């Protein structure tokens, strides 16, 4: 990621615009294509508390290590059970 998106190099308004554009929610009329997940997920970045890279890493770690969710078949991505 470019340094231009780091908290220290952006204002809160710029971070809000970055998140809106990234989540497909330019108009603010809907939750974008992330199903409402995007904007809420990146609120710590908007508030200047956590960098985007750290939020993404935490999300991936939780997603990859979660015991919840369907059992995915190793063939063709079929969901079993």
Domain residue spans of the chain: 3-64
Q: Where are the beta strands (DSSP E) in 1-81?
A: 71-72, 79-80
What whole-number distance in Å separates Cα of residue 74 and Cα of residue 76? 7
pLDDT digits (tens, 9 = 90+) for 26-63: 545 454 444 456 678 899 999 999 999 999 898 887 76
Mean pLDDT of the chain: 75
pLDDT of residue 77: 47
Mean pLDDT score, 9-29: 81
Phi and psi angles of residue 75, each rounded to the nearest 5 degrees, phi first:
-110, 125
CA distances from 41 to 11, 13, 37, 81 (A): 18, 17, 6, 29
Tokens of 63: 């997603």
How much of the chain, in percent, has pLDDT values that exceed 90? 38
Q: What is the pTM of this model?
A: 0.62
What whole-number distance in Å separates Cα of residue 70 and Cα of residue 79? 6
């Amino acid at each position: 990621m470019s340094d231009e998106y780091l908290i220290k190099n952006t204002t809160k308004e710029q971070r809000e615009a970055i998140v809106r554009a990234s989540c497909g929610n330019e108009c603010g009329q809907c939750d974008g294509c992330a199903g409402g997940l995007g904007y809420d997920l990146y609120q710590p970045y908007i508030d200047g508390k956590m960098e985007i890279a750290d939020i993404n890493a935490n999300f991936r770690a939780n997603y990859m290590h979660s015991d919840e969710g369907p059992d995915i078949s190793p063939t063709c991505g079929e969901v079993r059970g």
